[in-house]
Amino acid sequence: MDPMLKEKLQKPATFTPWANGKYEVVPGLKRFGTDFGNGERDNKIFQIDNRFFEYRQNKLEAIKENREKYFCTHFLSRKVEIEICKWMIKRLEVEWPDFFKSDYDATKDETCFFCFLTAEKIIVDRNFNLLRHDSSAPCLSLFEALCMQIQEDLAIWRLHVEGKKENLEQIHLCAPNHWAAQDKIGRSFFDVHVPVAEIEKVNKSASIMVDAMIYKGPYIRFVWGVATDQQLNHHPIPPIGVSPSQWEGRCFDPKNPTLFVRYERQTIWGFPEVGASLFAIRTYFSERVKNKESQALNLALAEAIKTMSMKSMYYKGLHQTHRDVIDYLSQ
């Protein structure tokens, strides 16, 4: 890769959704473009930074391990998929012109979408049918090929107006945080979120949420928890040959403390013309830094953990270690 191109990759944007010292399970929708102190990057759906190749490698390893664990489809209509893929291509070119480019070949009536970071070509015809994916790990669909060029995981929701029923119809999830795409695909917003602790109030307004996701917005929201590693892929089922204890994470040891905040920047973009929405999940890690500058955030995190119900602590993997974590953060 061109060294000058690599220099254009900035450090990751910074967000601190725990800074208010409270843990809350709420919709938390904010208008997309809200200023979080990251300049123009707060106006970008796709966050590309100097950890790009780490996220890319994680996706390659996940798909190589078992594509069906991480990429699931449930009766997604071709019309919806094309609409979203066309939007993604245009958005990536607008947000990151140094990294993405499209070229139309009139003699072949084909368009080549090129990613300079991965050096991959995605060739489509005039109807956006995937003709070829020039890659060491070629994908089987245009949506999947595009997912492999970004750091976010993506999910497509669609509302079936005739039955007033929404479904998760496609998901590419290579950085799952202790949940599995196979368990969610084809299910409603309500059913997908049932396992989340303290979700009852949000789920009572599930239909309002789905309507907002598709017909209003776009929106941005955050969720967070704590982790004891920076492993992106925490699928509930470890790869063959990897022990569950090694794969699990969430093993805080006060004698040898390692602690991160694992949080997600989630953006929601509606496609009302096809009754669908695209849900982008970008995973971040914020390590505790032992200096005066970070102490306020450490104390806020400790206070936020104190506000968790025991049900939420079980869900976040803190039920056995929360006291040790709070003591560590309060030092």
DSSP for residue 234: B
**Parallel/antiparallel/unpaired status of strands 165-172 and 120-125:** unpaired
Confidence at 299, pLDDT banded by 50, 70, 90: very high
Q: Once rounded to an integer, what is the mean pLDDT over residues 25-45?
A: 97
Average pLDDT over residues 7-35: 95
Dihedral sign of CA atoms 145, 146, 152, 156 in order: negative
Which of 181, 163, 162 is CA-nearest to residue 67? Answer: 181
Tell which residue, 267, 263, 261, 323, has the closest CA to residue 298.
261
Instruction: Evaluate whether 209 touches 100 at the Cβ level (below 8 Å).
Output: no
Question: What letter would DSSP give residue 7?
Answer: T
What's the pLDDT score for residue 295?
A: 86
pLDDT digits (tens, 9 = 90+) for 107-151: 999 999 999 999 999 999 999 999 999 998 899 899 999 999 999
Contact 308, 25 (CB under 8 A): no
Predicted pLDDT of residue 246: 85
Residue type at 175?
A
| Cis ω before 218 (30° cut-off from 0) | yes
Please say if the pLDDT value at position 6 is more than 90.
no
Phi, psi of 93, deg, nearest 5: -65, -40
How far is it, in rounded angstroms, from Cα 153 to Cα 148?
9
Supply the mean pLDDT for the chain. Answer: 94
CA distances from 216 to 7, 78, 91, 213, 285 (A): 37, 23, 19, 6, 29
Residue 292 pLDDT: 54
Band of residue 7 on the pLDDT scale cut at 50, 70, 90: confident
| Residue 1 confidence (pLDDT) above 70 | no
Q: What is the pLDDT of residue 263?
A: 97
Q: Which residues neighbour 246 within 8 Å (Cβ) at sequence distance 6 or greater?
A: 238
DSSP-assigned states of every residue in 12-79: PP---TTTTS----S---EETT---S-GGGGG-SS---TTHHHHHHHHHHHHHHHHHHHEEESS--HH
Q: What is the CA radius of gyration of the chain?
A: 20
Backbone angles phi, psi at 88, to 5 degrees: -60, -45
pLDDT digits (tens, 9 = 90+) for 288-298: 655 555 888 99
Residues 137, 131 contacting (CB under 8 angstroms): no
Dist. CA 175–CA 57, nearest whole Å: 11
163: pLDDT strictly greater than 70: no
The SS3 call for residue 291 is coil
Closest-CA residue to 211 (of 159, 169, 171, 274) = 159
82-107 pLDDT, tens digit each? 999 999 999 999 999 999 999 999 99
Mean pLDDT for the stretch of residues 162-180:
91
- Segment holding 226, helix H or strand E: strand 219-227
Determine the Cα–Cα distance for residues 248 and 271; give it in Å rounded to an integer.
Answer: 36
